[in-house]
Structure formats: structure tokens, C-alpha cells
Structure 1
């Protein structure tokens, strides 16, 4: 197991997952990260553009992030805990309010 130095004491690395999905496929990357790793840093370490070369790197570096379905307000500062799954959210193609209005106008 990897060990990292922090404030003079050795602390073991822990596992987290980073998940991203398209409608037709998904990828979950398991990482061993040191204490203090942020959600945004974990996404960088997961190297998702390597698995989705058809998408621009900004798709991942600028995406909204969440932990187990709960959106993060500040992923650049949110420090991960052992077992967390960071979810990389795709931008919405259609505003949900607009979609509801269109559906309602058809009825």
C-alpha cells in the first residue's frame, strides 16, 4: 500500500473511484490516492480523456462533479474519503425546464 507524508506522520493512501458515462458506455477508474486529494485532482489522475478520445479534455477538467449522486459545490477543495466515488457529470444538452414545457405543449 502506498504511504504519503503529511504533517510529519505517515498516512496510508486509500482507494477511491472516478466514474464517467456516456449513453452507450461507462468507465470506472479505481485509484489509490493520498489523504488530502481533492475530487478535481482525482479526476485528473483518472486520465479519462484516454478512455474517451472522442471528447475534448475540457469535458472532464471543467465538468461538474459529485460524490455518490450528490453534487459538489467546490470540487477543487472537497477532500476525498476512502471509498468515495467521484462522478463526472456531462453537461445537459437540453434545459430540463424547456423539455417539460415542450412536452406539456404537445398535450
Structure 2
């Protein structure tokens, strides 16, 4: 006896904004792609300001493309575009830490080296 194939899969499409989360529960035919799920959810109609030329997508936190085949129970996440450059942000944090460093840096003890060179008495 062969197992029955599912003819429909249940997926969620999720988009988080600061302060709110939008979610759409969908029933799609087996073999549907991420792009088809985004289109079926009506996301572009509800969020016309989102840059839809190449949305950043993922399934449970793992980045994927719009052509990925969905499995039953997948949660498709639409990511917001970055509003800052991550490299610039890291550089600012490093400068901030350096400016407010209160403890002196640990320096190696040079006494043993001077004793070995004969400059100091042991």
C-alpha cells in the first residue's frame, strides 16, 4: 500500500515591523514555491512601500530564494531592509569602547627579560 501524497500544504508568511507583526496562514498546492506563497498572501498589496524588486526571504531564519519549494508547516519570513551599514556600526562601537576604556592594558612583565640580559640583579 502506497502512502497518500498531500495535495495541499499549510504555510505561514510573516513580516515584522517595529511594534507589530503581520501574518498570513495559507493553504497551497504541494510543490508551491516561496514566491508563489508571497504572491498568494497579498503582501505586496498590503505593504506597497516595501522594496519588492528583491525581497530578503527566509524559512525559519535560514535565507532562501523565491524559487525554493515549500514543505508542509514552513514559516516564510520577509526581512526588512537594513537601515544602517553593519561594518560602520561595528567601527563606531570599537571607537566607543576605546574612548571609554578605564583599565590600563595588560603589559607583560619585563623584569625577567632584563634579568636574563644582565641588566638587573636577581
Q: TM-score range by the shorter chain?
A: 0.7 to 0.9
Check conservation: 2:14, 2:77, Cα contact below 8 A: yes
Tell me, yes or no, if structure 1 residue 68 matches structure 2 residue 63.
Answer: no
Q: Which runs of 5+ in 1 are unaligned?
A: 1-9
What RMSD in Å do the two structures reach over aligned CA positions?
A: 1.8
In structure 2, the gaps of 5 or more residues are 98-122
2:75 to 65, 82, 85: 85
Query: Following TM superposition, by how much is the alpha carbon of 1:51 offset from its aligned partner in structure 2, in angstroms?
Result: 3.4
Under a length normalisation based on structure 1, what TM-score does the superposition of the two structures give? 0.76
- Structure 2 equivalent of residue 103 of structure 1: 93
Instruction: For residues 13-50 of structure 1, give each alpha carbon's deviation from its aligned partner in whole angstroms, at most 9, with x where no partner exists.
Output: 11100000111211110000011211111111111234
Higher strand content, 1 or 2: 1
